[in-house]
Amino acid sequence: MTESAPPFPVLTGPPFPHAAAVLHHTGGAAGDHFDVLLATRTPHGEDDLACATWRTANDPGTLAAGQSTTAERIGAHRAAYLALTAPRELSDGRGRVTPVRTGTWCPHGTDGTNIDLHWSDGTRTRIAALPTGLWKRIHS
């Protein structure tokens, strides 16, 4: 039996923290949802696919302590979305993304199951990735 990969990127060293962003994605084939982007390294330009990305039902920054949301890992996104400041229409009828929040993230612990998100409004969210595929807020 092989061990599964940790749910969050395991970063092996500085610089910490890395950029994070939440986008509200509407009008696409997957239905309305949030895209949570976590930079895994310093991007080399805005087209660099430097962001591990999850599709979530809720903005993780709005979860109450103990509340969960679905989270599905999707393809890496371009670093340009980390700095998005206004809504953007996507090509090929994929809908529209609107920036919701930005900040930074870093691992909490060493096993890749918990992260700390520090938002630009001064709030903090600690998330645990559960084996069921849910994210749960574990810090108030």
23 burial class (0-12, 13-18, 19+ CB within 10 angstroms)? buried
- pLDDT value for 15: 63
Structure tokens at 50: 């430097």
Provide the residue type at 16 as one letter. F
State pLDDT tens for residues 105-122. 998 888 889 999 999 999
Amino acid at 56: T
Q: What is the pLDDT of residue 3?
A: 44
Q: Comparing C-alpha atoms, which of 63, 57, 66, 6 is closest to residue 36?
A: 57
The length of the chain is 140
Contacts with 130 (C-beta within 8 Å, 6 or more apart), sequence order: 68, 136
**Residue with structure tokens 């807020």?**
137
User: Residue 20 has what pLDDT?
Assistant: 96
Q: With 60 as the cut, is the pLDDT of residue 84 above it? A: yes
CA-to-CA distance for 119 and 105, rounded, in angstroms?
9
Mean pLDDT of 91-102: 92
Q: How does pLDDT run across 26-76, given as a tens digit for each residue?
A: 998 889 999 999 998 888 888 998 999 999 999 999 999 999 999 999 999
Q: Hey, what are 28's tokens?
A: 């696409």
For the entire predicted model, the pTM comes to 0.89
User: What pLDDT band is residue 14 in, cutting at 50, 70 and 90?
Assistant: low
